[in-house]
Amino acid sequence: MTASYEQPHAPQQAEERVTTEGRVFTVTGGDWDELAETVGKADDEHIVVNMGPQHPSTHGVLRLILEIEGETVTEARCGIGYLHTGIEKNMEYRTWTQGSTFVTRMDYLTPLFNEAAYALAVEKLLGITDQIPERASVIRVLMMELNRISSHLVAIATGGMELGATTIMIYGFRDRELILDAFELITGLRMNHAYIRPGGLAQDLPPGAVDHVRELVKKFRKNLPEYDKLATGNPVFKGRMQDVGYLDLAGCMALGATGPILRAAGLPHDLRKAQPYCGYQDYDFDVPTADTCDSYGRFLVRLEEMRQSLRIVEQCLDRLEPGPVMVADKKIAWPAQLALGPDGLGNSLDHIKKIMGTSMEALIHHFKLVTEGFRVPPGQAYTAVESAKGELGVHVVSDGGTRPHRVHFRDPSFTNLQTMAAMCEGGMVADVIVAVASIDPVMGGVDR
Amino acid sequence: MSDSNSQDANGVNPDKDVNATNLPGQRGDQGEAVRVQRGMFGANNGGDTSGYGGLVRPVRMPGASSRPYGGWFDEVADELEGALEEQGLVPENAIEKTVVDRGEITFHVAREHLPRVARTLRDDPALRFELCTGVSGVHFPGDKGRELHAVYHLRSITHNRLIRLEVSAPDADPHVPSIVSVYPTNDWHERETYDFFGIVFDDHPALTRIMMPDDWQGHPQRKDYPLGGVPVEYKGAQIPAPDQRRSYS
């Protein structure tokens, strides 16, 4: 498109090619009027629009293939795989502990759920589920619930942005940043934490973290009602969201949709209640539902889930007792206590002094565990956690070695995205964006 | 086992029984042998100076369990067998074996009976596994004649239960019937497993690649498909590609 270099602000021309499939137009800017005029003269009404994979409102590199008649979508299909990074294959070439570093990068908006699900699966294979220290489980719950809030904030923020509601977007990202600050304080990173490891946690909460999170909860008690004021009763917002992206309970069950989509169809299914893990049975919280089966219902469910998560976070803070955060078994536990040095993360100097100066066996043990890893008895296990998006399942298979034989993730975004066709076909083109936003797919998780 | 001379219910001292299942890494001769462990430490390059370099032992997956399975497992197994019998199927033909391990129950299903078993599990009121969480492929090159496994996890929200179905197919005939007609959610999952393992799900409405490009050669998650990668330089040293590094198994 050389014309755009010569006149950078001139509208781009719609390119036209003739292929075996018919005429193909490439539209990149504000030249829809011209295109509509051209196509309007054509004999056939059947138009296939290729939306994405690079499009601001498709949540990353999602490609939507829409067959439209006028403004109505007659058929909708997804093209995925543009962000496939071979994480499951790569994990077969690393130790079980190194796997945490990979899984955290799948659905990059819910890294702590990925890590927790993976850690729980490896622990089940090792048979050490009961030996995980109480403090580690409480911190896992704390981190997962904070992560649920940050993920839902992005869902609401980007969903709003796609409707043109930029205030919601700014608010959402502003509040998410508060949570990422807390993550950075606790894990050292805003994203890609590798904080929850098989056997426990990479390290304990740093000094001041509890107070920081308490302040955070206070801020959120003040900020969350703003979304209600901005959006919940807003007639324009409701007009765009209500009855859009409709999927009832039967559709959800057939297509395997879980999470807010299922709960907005009226079924209070939540793995935290149904199959508790990390001690969720000891926390007091509600599972919000809606019965509208539409995008608006999903928005309301997410909003209420954030309030419930705040309740759980507060209970976690009250529940924290001093203690270890890694399993006591020295054959599994990462040998060093990490300490935050002036140059960032590092091994604690006490530990280095001990293994280098006083105990040859400790040095050998440290070296073997870190380079070789621990062995996991042969067998397979499936664990699932209720991620912000639905059932995040992990199927791990061990052949008795120091590396996984196979790790498979049932990412909720992947399964939920399948419902796009059922939600969009027969609706308007403009509603496709709303419906996809209400699914909240994250392509890092879909493609892995 | 607090007393080393104690005997189990069969009158065998498990500490002196060479086929005992409580020895490390030993599971008698049950279970599928998935690979062979050589040497003491499983290092696959460099010498093994431990004196156990000649050690050879097969690694086996957990073997078949016998009744009672415990908890609600027996109820599900009874209901499933009863429902299959009602349909004129011999349960032993459809369910090759049942494995209970780590608090999970796995039904190994003969592949030709998979759609029938899945439909029964979904529709029988006493079973009601409404939700399928997809299919996961596993490749065991060492499990001759059953190299490719397709693993399904079914969840019953009504009864709050989770079970696993496992189906195997040989590399030479990588066909497994599709269960998309029973669980439409498996559409993309089966495409993914086909893409990565080359398992052909017969009667799938449109079995095409989903992650890899349409013209891709090979199925990347199979064990004979290399990981690839290039050596990288880090602080002056050459670090080999991940699949070339010293490793232990």
Q: What is the mean pLDDT of each run of 10 residues along chain A (448 residues)?
A: 45 61 66 65 69 66 84 88 91 92 92 94 92 93 94 90 85 92 90 91 88 93 88 86 90 92 92 91 92 91 93 92 88 74 66 83 84 88 93 92 92 92 89 88 89
- A381 interfacial to chain B (CB closer than 8 Å): yes
Distance from CA of A3 to the nearest CA of B (A): 32
> Cα–Cα distance between A295 and A314 in angstroms, integer?
29
Res B68: pLDDT: 87
Does the beta-carbon distance from B249 to A380 stay under 8 Å? no
> Cα–Cα distance between B73 and B69 in angstroms, integer?
6
Does the beta-carbon distance from B133 to A256 stay under 8 Å? yes
**Which residues pair with residue B161 across a beta bridge?**
B156
- A372: nearest CB among B164, B213, B248: B248
- Amino acid identity of residue A115, one-letter, is E
Does the beta-carbon distance from A418 to B213 stay under 8 Å? no
- A379: nearest CB among B35, B62, B136: B62
- Segment 208-227 of chain A within 8 Å of chain B by CB: none
- Segment 95-124 of chain A within 8 Å of chain B by CB: 124
Cβ atoms of B113 and B96 closer than 8 Å: no
Res B5: pLDDT: 45
Does the beta-carbon distance from A89 to B183 stay under 8 Å? no
> Cα–Cα distance between B241 and A93 in angstroms, integer?
10
**Alpha carbon B131 to chain centroid, angstroms:** 20
A322-363 per-position pLDDT tens digit: 988 889 888 888 876 666 665 556 677 777 888 888 888 888
Res A143: pLDDT: 94
Q: What is the DSSP letter of A357?
A: I
Does the beta-carbon distance from A256 to B131 stay under 8 Å? yes
Does the beta-carbon distance from B210 to A80 stay under 8 Å? yes
Res A334: pLDDT: 80
> Cα–Cα distance between B101 and B61 in angstroms, integer?
10
Res A220: pLDDT: 92
Which SS3 state, helix, strand or coil, does residue A400 take?
A: coil
- Alpha-helix residue ranges (DSSP H) falling in B124-216: 186-197
> Cα–Cα distance between A241 and A152 in angstroms, integer?
16
- For A128, the closest chain B residue by CA position comes to B102
Inter-chain Cβ pairs, chain A and chain B, closer than 8 A: 131
B22-79 per-position pLDDT tens digit: 555 444 567 778 788 777 777 766 666 777 777 787 888 888 888 888 889 999 999 9
A378-428 per-position pLDDT tens digit: 899 999 999 999 999 999 999 888 899 999 999 999 999 999 999 988 888
Cβ atoms of B121 and B114 closer than 8 Å: no
Res A11: pLDDT: 47
Does the beta-carbon distance from A378 to B62 stay under 8 Å? yes
Res B45: pLDDT: 66
Name every chain A residue with its beta carbon within 8 A of the beta carbon of B62.
378-379
- A447 interfacial to chain B (CB closer than 8 Å): yes
pTM for the predicted model, two decimal places: 0.87
- A88 interfacial to chain B (CB closer than 8 Å): yes
Name every chain A residue with its beta carbon within 8 A of the beta carbon of B103.
124
Strand order in the sheet with A379-387: A379-387, A390-398, A406-410
Which of B35, B100, B136, B225 has the highest number of chain A CBs within 10 A, making it the mutation to test binding with A?
B136
Q: What is the dihedral of CA B162, B168, B171, B175, to 10 degrees?
A: -90
Q: Which residues of chain B have pLDDT under 70?
A: 1-29, 44-48
